[in-house]
Chains A and B, each alone.
Chain A
Amino acid sequence: MPRRPVVKKEYTLGERVYLVEIAKGLRLTWKHFVFNIKASFRKGPHTVPTCWQYPEDRREIAPIFRGAHMLQLNDKGQELCVGCGMCARACPAKCITVKRGKPAEGEEDRYAGKTMCSSFEIDMLRCIFCGNCEKACPKNAIVLGQDYELAEYEPGLCIYDKKRLISNFLKAKAEGRLKPPPAPIPIDAPPVKKKTAVKKMAPGKTKAKGGERAEKGKGTSVKEEDKGPDK
């Protein structure tokens, strides 16, 4: 490709004297100055249009935002999660650990399903907020909420347990920031093929990671404490 010749711009006398051009520039900065001064007296969430003062001004978050997780309850206050572990399987970061359990005697009305999760842990340090758990959940129990300030003073606090996930839900409910339920899947959709069992990791591999991680790696596959009565 032939190079274009460099054309040197011929300056007019006014441009060479430079003072006029400075005056033009001053006019431009003055416009911005006045505009922003006026804007800073305006009432509203943020004063200078391009700046949001973060702790005070917050951006509006979309209803489908993917923030901190929560475990939903239904209208009767029953836990929706049945501990099936689909979320743990769908999770690409392998940060969810679910243990399925059977509700204790006399506590059946606390749970919507016949089974429940006896423990539900999410390692927020590993979570990538992809939302696959949400999509995988058959009961719409796990949902990614709108909280995004997830910093903690201790790394241990970043592993959310069931209690915390439910309290996240209660908080969101109190503030009216619940996620709208997903659109129903059309009935005439082709039936989902049953997946083959998840390949277990080679034992050597999990051991190589060592310590806690190996345990969690195992934890991603569902452990069934007792089998449900329907199976």
Chain B
Amino acid sequence: MADWQIDLIKVVFIWAWALLIAVVMTWVERRASAMMQDRLGPNRAGPFGLLQPLADGIKLFTKEDIIPERARKILFILGPILFALPAFSTYAVVPFGDKIVIGGKEIILQVSDVNIGFLYVLALSAIAVYGMVIGGWASNSKYSILGGLRATAQLISYEVPMGLALLTIVLLYGTFSLREIVLQQQGTFLGFLPNWGFFKQPVGFIIFLVAAYAEANRVPFDLPECESELVTGYHTEYGSMRLGLYLFGEYVNLVALSAITVSLFFGGWALPYVDMGKFLGPVSYGIASFLVFFLKQAFFLFLFVWVRWTVPRFRYDQLMGLGWKALIPLGLVNLFITALLVQLTT
């Protein structure tokens, strides 16, 4: 097979895989939340209600597509697309497995190992903000515009701590390539701890996680859509599949964010103390590394759901206070200390 064919297969596979996880996530979200609240959740469509996302999708597709009369048409249409596309594209640089050898050809399990994968992720997550803001402003409705305003303020203020947290990782590993970072996290340090970013940068990890929740608009930071105050915030005026794109984009975003978390802080595809490559064949090693990555990712996906049904929503001033008065100073101090340590040890 030519290289472009392999690339095409990888793109299609990872696109379908991300979609599949996102679809299952909508189901997991509803069932797990039900279990946490002593309810049952959707359990009628298919076994365990697994076909519920499909039913929801069909419903959203067949609904009438309404564009409000006073809305800005082009921007209104552009909003959900701008929101969902970056979420899908983030997966392009995620190393979702080590490598697999088929027919003597070594295939790296990553769509493209760009050497600035890091910046790519940051840039795309910044674009996704525009999806919300434009959607909110274009719908010409008071709830939407308030949602859009909140999205602007919130996402701008949480972009900074996220960047600061990621900078510490860059300082540690000295590279922007995600695959390189994962490769450097193999093995152990101090004799017993896995060589993960989490153990080297616990503060950075916490800052990153909090900022990631804010970026993904999840409870406790879901102020842009905030049902109790703003109906549903920036997508109040949306219906049919445009709304579906917003809702679905949120889950794809979660998938991408947890993939980034795993590859930056939890050693990507590698198991902590075991080197899988030693006792597995070339093909099975590739599959095993993919599965390990997925398991770690699944934990963070579940954490998103778990936190959502545990923590209440922040007040707006608390949200801003946390961002500017706690996370940014903490991130700066953390960055300073990390830089000092890196300078002293090398």
**B283 contacts chain A at the CB level, 8 A cutoff:** no
Contact with B along A23-36 (1 / 0, CB 8 A): 00110111011001
Residue numbers in A under 8 Å from B306 (CB-CB): 26, 29-30, 33
Interface SS, A side: helix
Given the known A-B contacts A22-B310, A26-B307, A29-B306, are A37 and B35 also in contact in the complex, defined by CB atoms under 8 Å?
A: yes
Please pick, from B38, B40, B206, B311, the residue contacting A32 in the complex, using a CB distance under 8 A: B38
| 8 Å CB interface, B23-56 against A | 32, 34-40
Given the known A-B contacts A19-B206, A33-B32, are A50 and B39 also in contact in the complex, defined by CB atoms under 8 Å?
A: yes
Q: Do B35 and A33 touch across chains, with their CB atoms under 8 A apart?
A: yes
Residue numbers in B under 8 Å from A47 (CB-CB): 40
B207 shortest CB reach to chain A, Å: 11
**B324 contacts chain A at the CB level, 8 A cutoff:** no
**A48 contacts chain B at the CB level, 8 A cutoff:** yes
Q: State A49–B206 Cα separation when bound (angstroms).
A: 36
Q: Do B38 and A29 touch across chains, with their CB atoms under 8 A apart?
A: no
Q: Do A48 and B38 touch across chains, with their CB atoms under 8 A apart?
A: yes
Q: Do B310 and A36 touch across chains, with their CB atoms under 8 A apart?
A: no
Please pick, from B38, B307, B309, B310, the residue contacting A49 in the complex, using a CB distance under 8 A: B38
Please pick, from B40, B206, B310, the residue contacting A29 in the complex, using a CB distance under 8 A: B310
Please pick, from A22, A48, A50, A53, the residue contacting B311 in the complex, using a CB distance under 8 A: A22
How many residues from A make CB contacts under 8 Å with B? 18
Q: State A47–B48 Cα separation when bound (angstroms).
A: 13
| 8 Å CB interface, B175-227 against A | 206
| 8 Å CB interface, A43-65 against B | 47-51, 53
Interface residues on B, range: 10 to 19
Q: Do A29 and B309 touch across chains, with their CB atoms under 8 A apart?
A: yes
| 8 Å CB interface, B275-318 against A | 306-307, 309-311
Q: State A111–B109 Cα separation when bound (angstroms).
A: 86
Q: State A57–B9 Cα separation when bound (angstroms).
A: 48
Residue numbers in B under 8 Å from A26 (CB-CB): 306-307, 310
Residue numbers in A under 8 Å from B34 (CB-CB): 36
B203 shortest CB reach to chain A, Å: 11
- Chain A's closest residue to B39 (CB) is A51
Q: State A40–B47 Cα separation when bound (angstroms).
A: 14
Residue numbers in B under 8 Å from A25 (CB-CB): 310-311
Q: Do A22 and B32 touch across chains, with their CB atoms under 8 A apart?
A: no
- Chain A's closest residue to B312 (CB) is A25
Contact with A along B304-346 (1 / 0, CB 8 A): 0011011100000000000000000000000000000000000
Residue numbers in A under 8 Å from B39 (CB-CB): 48, 50-51
Q: Do B36 and A51 touch across chains, with their CB atoms under 8 A apart?
A: no
- Chain B's closest residue to A47 (CB) is B40
A74 shortest CB reach to chain B, Å: 45
Q: State A180–B343 Cα separation when bound (angstroms).
A: 89
Residue numbers in B under 8 Å from A33 (CB-CB): 32, 35-36, 306
B279 shortest CB reach to chain A, Å: 33
Q: State A26–B307 Cα separation when bound (angstroms).
A: 7
- Chain B's closest residue to A48 (CB) is B40
Q: State A146–B264 Cα separation when bound (angstroms).
A: 63
Q: State A50–B311 Cα separation when bound (angstroms).
A: 23
Residue numbers in B under 8 Å from A29 (CB-CB): 36, 306, 309-310
- Chain B's closest residue to A27 (CB) is B310
Residue numbers in A under 8 Å from B311 (CB-CB): 22, 25
Q: State A30–B302 Cα separation when bound (angstroms).
A: 11
B269 shortest CB reach to chain A, Å: 26
Residue numbers in A under 8 Å from B40 (CB-CB): 47-48, 51, 53
Q: Do B37 and A32 touch across chains, with their CB atoms under 8 A apart?
A: yes
Residue numbers in A under 8 Å from B307 (CB-CB): 22, 26
- Chain A's closest residue to B44 (CB) is A53
- Beyond known contacts A22-B307, A48-B35, A50-B38: 10 more, CB 8 A cutoff: A22-B310, A22-B311, A25-B310, A32-B35, A36-B38, A40-B35, A48-B38, A49-B38, A51-B39, A51-B40
Identify 20 residue pairs between A and B in the complex whose beta-carbon atoms are under 8 Å apart, listed by A's number: A22-B307, A22-B310, A25-B310, A25-B311, A29-B36, A30-B306, A32-B35, A32-B36, A32-B37, A32-B38, A33-B32, A36-B36, A36-B38, A37-B35, A47-B40, A48-B38, A50-B38, A51-B38, A51-B40, A53-B40
